[in-house]
Amino acid sequence: MSEINRGAAHLNATVLANKRVGQYHQIVLGIGDLVKNCRPGNFVAIKVGGDSSKMILRRAFAISRVAESVSFGGTMELIVAPHGSGSKWLCSQSEGAELDIVAPLGTAFGIPTQPVNALLVGGGYGSAPLFGLAEVLKSRGCKVDMLLGASTGGKIYAPMEGKRSVNSLKIYTEDGSMGELGRVTEPILKLVEDKAVDVIYSCGPMGMLRAISEITAGSDVVHQCAVEEAMACGIGICMTCVLPVKDDSGQISMLRSCIDGPVMDGSQVQWHLVGQVPEVAP
């Protein structure tokens, strides 16, 4: 394991609950003491399809939140959209099923040591990890506001839960079917100009993350984004999830989203080079 994954473990986790929530599935796994190592922004790699499946690669899923209770011990919540064959198989698992998982993986969101004005921006079901993050930030005395966006209202995950989790919540849909008509990034510029936000945490489509990075460029606002890049191995071996990132010296390197991310400094990701192979110094 990479040093970044020193708290990760391989185990069989029991499905404690699998509930349909709108277009998504809320899946709760029993993970025991592993819960103590999980942080907002981490992800889990799950073996899908069963022992006879041709789907040999694990699937990576963002951890929505973790909790501890007397009844179930340590639990992990996932929000899954049944799109591909792997996620559809996962969503079909009933209570009591055993899942082969590796967690927690990747870098987590940085939590401020002092209270700040935090803005959480989520796109579609990518917003799910922000709910657990909101709880941590509020416990540190931060003011937490949230913007949720999607193409249509049916793709907004648990808006009422979001409202309970933060100081204020606004919803934007591109078709106007829920909340305000428009893109979730539209109100951010004024908030930055008014110095109403110190740090932005974002999770969602790469286009949204890029737009937020462009809005915050040149400002004092820190933008921590959880990138959405396909991960084949999840532990830094296969190099399929690389992104061009500039370091403090100006050098661009191809960094692995699963090891150096998924949480990255949005100002350092070279969004205009994503999907390309940048020239690097010899």
Q: Is 32 left (phi over 0), alpha (psi -120 to 50) or beta?
A: left
pLDDT value for 70? 84
Helix and strand numbers (H, E) in the chain are 5, 15
| Residue whose token pair is 């915050």 | 216
List Cβ<8 Å contacts ≥24 apart for 179-184. Answer: 179/148, 179/153, 183/149, 183/208, 183/211, 184/121, 184/122, 184/123, 184/147, 184/148, 184/149, 184/150, 184/208
CA atoms 251, 257, 225, 172: torsion sign: positive
Fold entry, domain 107-226: Rossmann fold (3.40.50)
Give, for 244, the enclosing helix (H) or strand (E). Answer: strand 242-246
> What distance in Å separates the CA atoms of residue 240 and residue 40, rounded to the nearest whole number?
23
The separation between CA 218 and the C-alpha centre of its own chain, rounded to angstroms, equals: 25
Same topology for domains 107-226 and 230-282, yes or no?
A: no
**Is pTM, for the whole model, over 0.75?**
yes
Q: Where are the domains of the chain?
A: 3-105, 107-226, 230-282
Fold entry, domain 3-105: Elongation Factor Tu (Ef-tu); domain 3 (2.40.30)
- Could you give the count of Cα atoms lying within 13 Å of 55 in the half-sphere of its Cβ? 15
| pLDDT tens digits in sequence order for the chain, 282 residues long | 446 788 899 999 999 999 998 889 999 999 999 999 999 999 999 999 988 788 888 999 999 999 998 888 999 999 999 989 999 999 999 999 999 999 999 999 999 999 999 999 999 888 888 989 999 999 999 999 999 999 999 999 888 877 788 999 999 999 999 999 999 999 999 999 999 999 999 999 999 999 999 999 999 999 999 998 888 888 888 888 999 999 989 899 999 999 999 999 999 999 999 877 656 555
pLDDT value for 1? 40
> What distance in Å separates the CA atoms of residue 59 and residue 45, rounded to the nearest whole number?
5
Q: Are 226 and 202 in contact (CB under 8 A)?
A: yes
What tokens does 207 get?
């286009």
Q: Are 28 and 16 in contact (CB under 8 A)?
A: yes
> What distance in Å separates the CA atoms of residue 51 and residue 87, rounded to the nearest whole number?
16
Strands (DSSP E) found in 164-220: 168-173, 180-181, 199-203
In CATH, 230-282 is 2.10.240: yes
Q: Are 254 and 260 in contact (CB under 8 A)?
A: no
Report the DSSP beta bridge partners of residue 12. Answer: 100
Question: Hey, is 22 helix, strand or coil?
Answer: coil
> What distance in Å separates the CA atoms of residue 120 and residue 124, rounded to the nearest whole number?
13
Question: Hey, is 114 helix, strand or coil?
Answer: coil
